Amino acid sequence: MKIGLAGCAGLLALLGVGCQKQREESDGRPLVVATVTMVHDLVKEVGGERVRVEGLMGPGIDPHTYKPKITDAALLEEAAAVFYCGLHLEGKMQESLEKLAERRGGVHAVTGGIPEEMLLEPQEDFEGHYDPHVWGDPELWKETVKVVVQGLSEIDPEGAEYYEERGSAYEKRLEELKAWALERVAEVPEDQRLLVTSHDAFFYFGRGFGFEVRGLQGVSTVSEPGLKDRAELVKFIGQRGIRTIFPETSVNPKAIAAVAAEAGVRASGEELFSDAMGTPGDVVELHGERYDKGTYVGMVKHNVNSIVDGLK
């Protein structure tokens, strides 16, 4: 039996658990809930020490197919503010979040801060919606910061200046991240900038860094790739002389591994982060840098390093 978010909240009330437990665990700071890991990290960067941030989806979780748990309803009901990606990244859960916003407010889609003309047109199997994978380009992801600054300032007006300062500082870090990534990508000749991945999550990355991108699955992982999809991708790999293709952490690697075997090319040993970041505290040192793959900055650096090193 499937239980929606509203149903979960009612069930928790009947059981006498959930909201009261959250209050007991509170340390006095406003509770803020985020859905996917990228949004979770964004809210923590802006919110700093003034808010307590809880995430619904952890590393490796595919938000396209995520099914809310009973504990999610407790967090959402108790939260002073909720932030989610939007553009239907969270699949059917978005409808519940939109209803929650109508009922009580304080629920924000961070992609609402991105001008529509900066969004990519829907892909074949995602008609009616824009591509939600906007974090692929740090310059575009920067547009989401203002939504978090405004949302946190609404629940904590005394901290408005604090959030504004942290938001501005983080925007600067994202600008620096984009410049760093462009410098690394320049090491790959333009005619070799061909990126093949498990699903179509890298179109914003491709536009931002000059890559032609192909995925085995579509924008959403809900639809499974068929034999025709696989055959067409194998043909494309052979025609373009691609030597390395990339699995993703939130998508089963078997399908892309089968494509690699059939095409006679290498599947990278470094999985790319597409719909979820890495585990917080997973710190690596590479090319003279140290970064945490459980942060957005570390996620981007891991992806760029893996792609550049794999294609050079």
How far is the C-alpha of 293 from the C-alpha of 280, rounded, in Å? 7
Residues with pLDDT less than 50, the chain: 1-4, 6-24, 219, 221-222
What was the pLDDT predicted at 124?
Answer: 61
- Give domain limits for the chain: 5-177, 188-311
Question: Regarding the domain delimited by 5-177, which CATH topology (the fold level of the hierarchy) does it fall under?
Answer: Rossmann fold (3.40.50)
Per-residue pLDDT reduced to its tens digit, 104-122:
999 999 999 999 999 998 6
10 Å CB burial of residue 166 (0-12, 13-18, 19+) is buried
| Residue indicated by tokens 């407010």 | 105
Which tens digit of pLDDT belongs to each residue from 238-247?
999 999 999 9
First to last CA, the chain: 50
Q: What is the CATH number of domain 188-311?
A: 3.40.50.1980
pLDDT digit string (tens) for 119-174?
998 666 556 689 999 999 999 999 999 999 999 999 999 999 999 999 999 999 99
Which letter, b or e, does each residue of 185-202 get, where b requires 16 or more Cβ atoms within 10 Å of its Cβ?
beebeeeebbbbbbbbbb
Report CA dihedral (76, 82, 85, 91) to the nearest 10 degrees.
20
